[in-house]
């Protein structure tokens, strides 16, 4: 995930109390004149010292959630039959119709573009989102499931793509203004979401197939006797389970380290303790590792506690489970991690209370009354995530339910500094590149260059960045000849949406835009790094050229890098400093 808050000079020194030699803030020219490995080291130190996100800035985001997201949901609920009035919150907020509309509104919200990939925390400064501005526009880039198939397999949108997207949004809105959410209203939305996912894989992920679409399917096909509530309970439980499983790795402590240092409410006195030995050793500390372990165990415990509470009929255990998931998701949401959809955490809290606290009479085992639907649920919620965790190259991290575990597929796009990024202007898109956006808002050329350097910090500070030490030297001859773009941010610009899924912004995206942009050989290099399989030892990476295709690949043994700092050292540093040395 990606954020630019620490990227601006002048921000780097805020809150700094240490006056020891060679600590931030550094002279910008020192950073810019340093060879690439040293630039990365200085940038990582600057970020580690900055504690960038401020509560008053995060309050703006929470205004969005409280007034736009929740306020609009309350408005949709006012259409419900027998609505008692806004101020009788206890009489309408936890009704079945209110929950159903929360699910439908969550999907609609994401498909409009107001959720994942929205705003400056996702490197969107001018035109804060793509969403409908991209999906409802003929000629924008898409990623079809069956590339090359007549009518449906093109790399850019046609009127069929646009029309079906708009139709689905209209039908979702129709559900939201209905006095009752019925299976007849939901069925076309359920089907159209799947069809739109065939036309553009991005849209299926935007609609949060593994969560929103699955629960809407339960609401559609298990409406009788409210059996859909049991299906939703199963969905919530599997989400917690798999999210916990995905954190069973060496990556998650670096996520905690990064998230808490950015966290606006995490005590500043504890932030330096997130690192082993600031400023020289910026690996995740034992303190960060203990926090990661606590989060891992807590998330595992949630579905177990709720199940045991149901089986034993324990009111206190049920209350404890509800308080646990409320605290867990509130902690994440309040710290507003870069790229994390806080909306989703709000829904997990609200839905958890509705399902488990307000419906203790319902059991997950009630779904055995509908064996076919239960089989479909278990395929989506058990089989797909199992396969996706062990074979991550074949399944997106969302269906795999590997949420914010630090173990994502990602891509680094390297553009030759010869004006190659100008070819991206040939694409129909809703915003300029992040560099072009920054040029408009940053005061000076030096600050602009520093901001570009700081954009690399997130990737290197996470443990998953270590494979780049092996991939970068074989990807390009001289790193100084190229500008660095995060695939997630570039993909968000080109595809209208981004949420950390490297499968959306790698080889297929390069193949889709190459006929339009016509990059020359060596003008662009894309490094694609795949997630580490569950209990697997390596992360697989490939290097692509727009003309040659795949030009290199390798597998990085992650245990080799547990003692390595986030920046290149040794032979890697020498290889990446070659061009700088020649210039000097």
Q: Say if residues 193 and 107 touch (Cβ distance below 8 Å).
A: yes
pTM for this prediction = 0.92
DSSP state of 156: B
What DSSP letter does each residue of 332-370 carry, written as one string?
Answer: HHHH--TT--HHHHHHHHHHHIIIIIS-TT--GGGGGGS
Give the domain ranges of the chain. Answer: 77-247+291-394, 410-583
114-119 long-range contacts (CB < 8 A, ≥24 apart) are: 114/64, 114/68, 114/69, 115/341, 115/343, 115/344, 116/206, 116/339, 116/341, 116/497, 116/498, 116/499, 117/339, 117/492, 117/497, 117/498, 117/499, 119/61, 119/64
User: Which ranges in 247-283 belong to alpha helices (H)?
Assistant: 252-262, 268-271
Asked if the peptide bond before residue 10 counts as cis, ω within 30 degrees of 0, the response is no
- Region for residue 401 given its phi and psi (left: phi exceeds 0; alpha: psi -120 to 50; beta: otherwise): left
Three-state SS string across 443-493, please? CCHHHHHHHHHHCCHHHHHCHHHCCHHHHHHHHCCCHHHEEEEEHHHHHHH
- Strand intervals (E) in 109-169: none
- For residues 314-336, one letter each, b for 16 or more C-beta atoms within 10 angstroms of the residue's C-beta and e for the rest, the string is eeebbeebbebbeebbebbbbbb
Please state the φ and ψ torsions of residue 256, each to the nearest 5 degrees.
-60, -45
Residues with Cβ within 8 Å of residue 100, at least 6 apart in sequence = 181, 219
pLDDT in tens, the chain (584 residues): 344 333 333 333 333 344 456 888 899 999 999 999 999 999 999 999 986 666 666 667 778 888 899 999 999 999 999 999 999 999 999 999 999 999 999 999 999 999 887 877 677 778 888 899 999 999 999 999 999 999 999 999 999 999 999 999 999 999 999 999 999 999 999 999 999 999 999 999 999 999 999 999 999 999 988 899 999 999 999 999 999 999 999 999 999 999 999 888 888 889 999 999 999 999 999 999 999 999 999 999 999 999 999 999 999 999 999 999 999 999 888 876 666 678 999 999 999 999 999 999 999 999 999 999 999 999 999 999 999 999 999 999 999 999 888 999 999 999 999 899 999 999 999 988 888 888 888 888 999 999 999 999 999 999 999 999 999 999 999 999 999 999 999 999 999 998 878 899 999 999 999 999 999 999 999 999 999 999 999 999 999 999 999 999 999 999 999 999 999 999 899 988 876 655 54
State both tokens at 546.
């727009």
Distance CA 460, CA 241 (A): 28
């Amino acid at each position: 995930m990606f954020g630019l808050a620490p990227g601006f000079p002048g921000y780097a020194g805020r809150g700094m109390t240490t006056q020891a030699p060679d600590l931030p803030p550094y002279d910008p020219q020192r950073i810019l004149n340093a060879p690439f490995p040293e630039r990365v080291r200085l940038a990582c130190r600057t970020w580690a010292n900055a504690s960038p996100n401020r509560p008053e800035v995060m309050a703006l985001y929470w205004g969005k959630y409280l007034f736009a997201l929740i306020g609009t949901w309350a408005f949709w609920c006012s259409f419900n039959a027998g609505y008692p009035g806004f101020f009788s919150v206890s009489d309408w907020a936890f009704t079945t119709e209110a929950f159903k509309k929360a699910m439908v509104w969550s999907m609609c919200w994401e498909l409009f573009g107001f959720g994942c990939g929205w705003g400056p925390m996702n490197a969107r400064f001018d035109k804060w989102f793509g969403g409908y501005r991209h999906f409802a526009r003929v000629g924008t880039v898409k990623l079809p499931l069956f590339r090359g198939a007549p009518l449906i397999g093109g790399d850019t949108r046609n009127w069929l793509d646009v029309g079906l997207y708009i139709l689905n949004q209209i039908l979702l809105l129709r559900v939201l203004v209905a006095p009752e959410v019925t299976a007849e209203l939901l069925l076309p939305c359920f089907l159209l979401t799947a069809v739109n996912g065939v036309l553009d894989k991005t849209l299926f992920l935007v609609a949060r197939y593994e969560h929103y679409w699955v629960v809407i399917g339960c609401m559609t096909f298990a409406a009788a006797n409210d059996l859909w509530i049991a299906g939703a309970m199963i969905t919530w439980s599997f989400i917690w389970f798999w999210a916990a499983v995905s954190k069973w790795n060496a990556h998650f402590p670096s996520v905690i380290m990064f998230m808490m240092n950015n966290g606006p409410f995490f005590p500043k006195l504890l932030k330096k303790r997130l690192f082993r030995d600031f400023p020289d050793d910026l690996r995740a500390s034992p303190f960060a590792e203990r926090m990661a372990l606590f989060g891992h165990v807590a998330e595992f415990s949630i579905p177990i506690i709720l199940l045991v509470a149901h089986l034993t009929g324990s009111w206190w255990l049920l209350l404890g489970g509800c308080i646990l998931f409320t605290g867990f998701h509130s902690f994440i949401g309040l710290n507003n991690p870069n790229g994390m959809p806080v909306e989703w955490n709000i829904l997990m809290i609200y839905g958890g209370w509705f399902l488990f606290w307000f419906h203790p009479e319902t059991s997950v085992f009630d779904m055995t009354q509908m064996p076919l639907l239960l089989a479909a649920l278990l395929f989506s919620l058990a089989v797909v995530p199992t396969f996706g965790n062990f074979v991550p190259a074949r399944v997106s991290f969302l269906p795999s339910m590997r949420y914010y575990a630090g173990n994502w597929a990602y891509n680094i796009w390297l553009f030759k500094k010869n004006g190659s990024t100008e070819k991206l202007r040939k694409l129909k898109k809703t915003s300029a590149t992040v560099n072009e956006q920054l040029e408009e808002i940053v005061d000076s050329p030096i600050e602009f260059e520093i901001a570009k350097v700081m954009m690399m910090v997130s990737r290197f500070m996470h443990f998953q960045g270590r494979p780049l030490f092996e991939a970068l030297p074989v990807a390009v001859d001289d790193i100084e000849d190229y500008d660095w773009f995060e695939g997630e941010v570039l993909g968000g610009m080109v595809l209208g949406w981004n949420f950390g899924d490297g499968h959306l912004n790698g080889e297929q995206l390069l193949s889709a835009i190459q006929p339009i942009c016509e990059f020359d050989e060596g003008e662009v290099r894309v490094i694609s790094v795949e997630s580490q399989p569950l209990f697997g030892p390596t992360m697989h990476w490939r290097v692509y050229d727009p003309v040659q295709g795949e030009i290199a690949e390798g597998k990085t043994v992650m245990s080799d890098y547990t003692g390595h700092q986030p920046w290149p050292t040794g032979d890697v540093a020498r290889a990446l400093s070659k061009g700088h040395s020649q210039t000097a």
